[in-house]
A and B are shown apart, each in its own frame.
Chain A
Amino acid sequence: MSGTFVGMPAFPKAAHDAVRDTTLRANLRHATHTIRDKRAVAVAELADWAALREAGRQIKDRTLHHLDAYLVQLEEAVTAAGGTVHWASDAAEANRIVADLVKATGETEVVKVKSMATQEIGLNEALEAEGIRAYETDLAELIVQLGEDRPSHILVPAIHRNRGEIRDIFASEMGEWGRPAPDGLTDRPAELAEAARLHLREKFLRAKVGVSGANFMVAETGTLVVVESEGNGRMCLTLPETLISVVGIEKVVPTWRDLEVFLQTLPRSSTAERMNPYTSMWTGTTDADGPTAFHLVLLDNGRTDTLADEVGRQALRCIRCSACLNVCPVYERAGGHAYGSVYPGPIGAILTPQLRGTRSELDASLPYASSLCGACYDVCPVAIDIPEVLVHLREKVAERGGPGHRLEKAAVKAAAWVLDHPAALAAGERLASRTRALHPKRLPGPGASQWTESRDLPEMPAEPFRDWWKRNRT
Chain B
Amino acid sequence: MSQTSRDRILGRVRRALAEAPAVREPARAYLTAHAPDDPAALLDLLHENLADYRARVHRATEGELPALVAELLDRHGAATVAVPPGLPPAWLSATTAEQRHDEDTPLTPHDLDGTDAVVTGCALAIAETGTLVLDGGPGQGRRALTLVPDLHICVVRAAEQTVASVPLALPRLDPTRPLTWISGPSATSDIELDRVEGVHGPRTLQVVLVTDA
A19 within 8 A of B: no
A3 shortest CB reach to chain B, Å = 33
Q: Are A286 and B13 in contact (CB under 8 A)?
A: no
B8, B14, B17, B143: the one within 8 Å of A290 (CB): B143
Bound complex: CA A259 to CA B2 (Å) = 30
Q: Are A58 and B23 in contact (CB under 8 A)?
A: yes
Q: Are B193 and A156 in contact (CB under 8 A)?
A: yes
Q: Are B26 and A229 in contact (CB under 8 A)?
A: no
Q: Are A307 and B201 in contact (CB under 8 A)?
A: no
A192 shortest CB reach to chain B, Å = 6
B-contacting residues, A235-279, CB 8 Å: 235, 237-239, 249, 256-257, 259-261, 263-264, 271, 273-279
Question: In the complex, which range does the number of interface residues on chain A fall in?
Answer: 35 or more
* CB within 8 Å for A87 and B6 given contacts A71-B13, A238-B143: yes
Task: Spot the interface stretch: B91-99, B154-162, B181-189.
Answer: B181-189
B90 within 8 A of A: no
B36 within 8 A of A: no
Interface residue SS majority, chain B: loop
Q: Are A281 and B201 in contact (CB under 8 A)?
A: no
> Which residues of chain B are near A230, meaning CB under 8 Å?
186-188, 199-201
Q: Are A239 and B144 in contact (CB under 8 A)?
A: yes
Bound complex: CA A162 to CA B177 (Å) = 41
Residue of A with least CB distance to B202? A231
B136 within 8 A of A: yes
Bound complex: CA A277 to CA B191 (Å) = 17
B51 within 8 A of A: no
Q: Are B175 and A239 in contact (CB under 8 A)?
A: no
Task: Spot the interface stretch: A60-68, A357-365, A369-377, A403-411.
Answer: A60-68
A368 within 8 A of B: no
Residue of A with least CB distance to B183? A275
Q: Are B175 and A65 in contact (CB under 8 A)?
A: no
Task: Spot the interface stretch: B59-67, B75-83, B126-134.
Answer: B126-134
> Which residues of chain B are near A229, meaning CB under 8 Å?
186-189
A215 within 8 A of B: no
> Which residues of chain A are near B199, meaning CB under 8 Å?
139, 193, 196-197, 230-232
> Which residues of chain A are near B14, meaning CB under 8 Å?
68
Bound complex: CA A54 to CA B189 (Å) = 30
Residue of B with least CB distance to A89? B5
Residue of B with least CB distance to A93? B5
Q: Are B178 and A281 in contact (CB under 8 A)?
A: yes
A388 shortest CB reach to chain B, Å = 16
> Which residues of chain A are near B167, meaning CB under 8 Å?
260
Residue of A with least CB distance to B106? A288
* CB within 8 Å for A277 and B9 given contacts A231-B200, A288-B106: no
Q: A87-B5, A143-B190, A230-B200 are in contact. List 16 more A-B contacts (CB 8 A).
A: A34-B193, A45-B34, A140-B188, A189-B196, A205-B110, A221-B175, A223-B175, A229-B186, A229-B188, A234-B200, A238-B147, A260-B166, A274-B53, A275-B181, A278-B201, A304-B13
Chain A contact residues, CB within 8 Å of chain B = 27, 30-31, 34-35, 45-48, 51-52, 54-55, 58-59, 61-62, 64-65, 67-68, 71-72, 81, 86-89, 93, 97, 137-140, 143, 156, 158, 162-163, 166, 189-190, 192-193, 196-197, 200-201, 204-205, 218, 221, 223, 229-232, 234-235, 237-239, 249, 256-257, 259-261, 263-264, 271, 273-283, 286, 288-290, 298, 300, 304-305, 307-308, 310, 313
